[in-house]
């Protein structure tokens, strides 16, 4: 019997988020390159304070995540009062949508943008508006063409996942300047720490100089604390006030509070992780291109690899071959990129093994 207790209809338009795979059937040991996790793990200093937090597990954590917010503020020269923390940046993206969207409101994101944007928009009762990308890159003019009186939010991942492309700061500033004042701009900088380009900025300046721009960041990528679920946002006082009214009272655990604070203060380890990525991102890109495969230029900690849409050398066949050899990468049908695979930059050994297996696939198809 069908229940009369029903949610909003928009909930049924949501496809649950499916994370990258962590295991391969029949494989006891795998190389996981499917979730853009750092291969170097977290800062040893973060691990140390996390281990010391066990004797306080019976206590409620600091509901304001004061230590973590102060550490973030110190690291970036910000006012801690303009920082809010959440259970990953995913929670903050959902809170932003919940606070600013309702029935009839629209929110824009790009065709290959992060899947959580659509989920957050629909969960809040809003209408998702998807705009095209140009050369797999966010395009300001396409976004502006889609803006209506009903538009309330624009979500941009910069750099973008899963393409690895980015929008220069000049274009982000132009977008903010040409968006109507009633539209909030959300700059998702989950991979910001990996970018080494002179024309890139994660969004701190725009947030500081406007009252309708929000920047989100995460500890799940370069800081290696994905399992602790820590994210943060820098936003104007008016936005922070709104989000604090609807977030959970203890949404950051005690161990997450101290581990995150230690991780963000360990600049030396951060630089080591970024250096590792820069070296192996270049190497992996060159090696894959040498196999005759196209790679979208990336500034993040992963590469987008293009395969044939038909025939034997397809993304699906490559994924199956890699999986059979214990190398797990990310299929991208849900991102409207069925002919591509996303491959995370791993350790030296992992990268070399991945290239070895991918070479076997390409050579096998070519000579099969």
CATH number at residue 302: 3.90.1150.10
User: What's the whole-number mean pLDDT along residues 41-59?
Assistant: 96
Ramachandran assignment for 265, one of left (phi > 0), alpha (psi -120 to 50 degrees), beta (any other): alpha
Lowest mean pLDDT among 14-23, 138-147, 228-237, 277-286: 14-23
How do residues 129-144 score in pLDDT, each as one tens digit? 999 999 999 999 999 9
The number of angstroms, rounded, from the C-alpha of 47 to the middle of its chain's C-alpha atoms is 23
- State the chain's mean pLDDT as an integer: 95
pLDDT of residue 17: 76
- Terminal alpha carbon distance of the chain: 55
Strands 83-86 and 231-234: antiparallel
What H or E segment, with its residue span, contains residue 44? helix 44-52
User: What's the whole-number mean pLDDT along residues 198-216?
Assistant: 97
Residues 248 and 329 occupy one common structural domain: no
Residues 276 and 181 occupy one common structural domain: no
In a domain, 12, yes or no: no
What H or E segment, with its residue span, contains residue 155? strand 151-157
Q: Which of 51, 38, 75, 47 is nearest to 272 (CA)?
A: 38
In a domain, 131, yes or no: yes
How do residues 88-121 score in pLDDT, each as one tens digit? 999 999 999 999 999 999 999 999 999 999 999 9
How do residues 262-287 score in pLDDT, each as one tens digit? 999 999 999 999 999 999 999 999 99
How do residues 301-342 score in pLDDT, each as one tens digit? 999 999 999 999 999 999 999 999 999 999 999 999 999 999
3-state class (DSSP) for residue 106: strand
CATH of the domain at 185: 3.40.640.10
Tokens 């929110």 appear where?
Answer: 107
Boundary residue ending a domain (265, 294, 321): 265
Residues 98 and 184 occupy one common structural domain: yes
pLDDT of residue 368: 55
Boundary residue ending a domain (221, 244, 265): 265
Indicate the angle between helix axes 267-290 and 348-367, nearest 10 degrees.
Answer: 10
Q: Which of 134, 200, 144 is nearest to 176 (CA)?
A: 144
Structural domains counted in the chain: 2
In a domain, 9, yes or no: no
70 confidence band (pLDDT: 50, 70, 90)? very high
How much of the chain exceeds pLDDT 70, in percent?
97
Tell me the residue range of the domain where 29 lies. Answer: 19-41+268-367
pLDDT of residue 364: 81
Residues 240 and 275 occupy one common structural domain: no
Boundary residue ending a domain (221, 241, 265): 265
């Amino acid at each position: 019997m069908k229940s009369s207790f029903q949610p909003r209809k928009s909930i049924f338009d949501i496809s649950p988020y499916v994370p990258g795979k962590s295991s391969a059937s029949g494989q006891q040991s795998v190389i996981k390159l499917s979730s853009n996790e750092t291969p170097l793990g977290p800062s040893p200093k973060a691990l140390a304070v996390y281990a010391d937090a066990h004797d306080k597990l019976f206590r409620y954590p600091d509901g304001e995540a004061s230590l973590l917010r102060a550490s973030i503020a110190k690291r970036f020269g910000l006012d801690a009062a303009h920082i809010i923390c959440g259970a990953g940046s995913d929670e903050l993206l959902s809170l932003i949508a919940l606070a600013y969207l309702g029935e009839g409101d629209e929110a824009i994101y790009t065709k290959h943008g992060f899947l959580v944007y659509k989920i957050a928009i629909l969960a809040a009762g809003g209408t998702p508006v998807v705009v095209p990308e140009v050369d797999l890159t966010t395009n300001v003019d396409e976004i502006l063409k889609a803006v209506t009186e009903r538009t309330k939010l624009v979500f941009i991942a910069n750099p973008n996942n899963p393409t690895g492309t980015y929008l220069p700061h000049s274009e982000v500033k132009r977008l903010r300047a040409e968006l109507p004042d009633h539209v909030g701009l959300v700059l998702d900088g989950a991979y910001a720490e990996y970018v080494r380009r002179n024309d890139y900025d994660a969004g701190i300046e725009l947030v500081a100089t406007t009252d309708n721009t929000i920047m989100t960041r995460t500890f799940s990528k370069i800081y290696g604390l994905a399992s602790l679920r820590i994210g943060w946002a820098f936003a104007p006082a008016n936005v922070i006030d709104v989000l604090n009214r609807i977030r959970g009272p203890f949404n950051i655990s005690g161990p997450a509070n101290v581990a995150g604070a230690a991780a963000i203060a360990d600049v030396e380890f951060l630089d080591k992780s970024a250096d590792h990525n820069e070296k192996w991102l270049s190497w992996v890109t060159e090696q894959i291109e040498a196999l005759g495969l196209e790679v979208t230029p990336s500034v993040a900690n992963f590469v987008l690899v293009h395969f044939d849409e038909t025939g034997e050398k397809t993304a699906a066949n490559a994924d199956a071959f890699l999986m059979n050899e214990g190398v797990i990468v990310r299929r991208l049908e849900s991102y409207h990129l069925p002919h591509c695979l996303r491959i995370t930059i791993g350790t030296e050994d992992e990268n070399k093994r991945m290239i070895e297996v991918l070479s076997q696939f390409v050579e096998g198809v070519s000579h099969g």
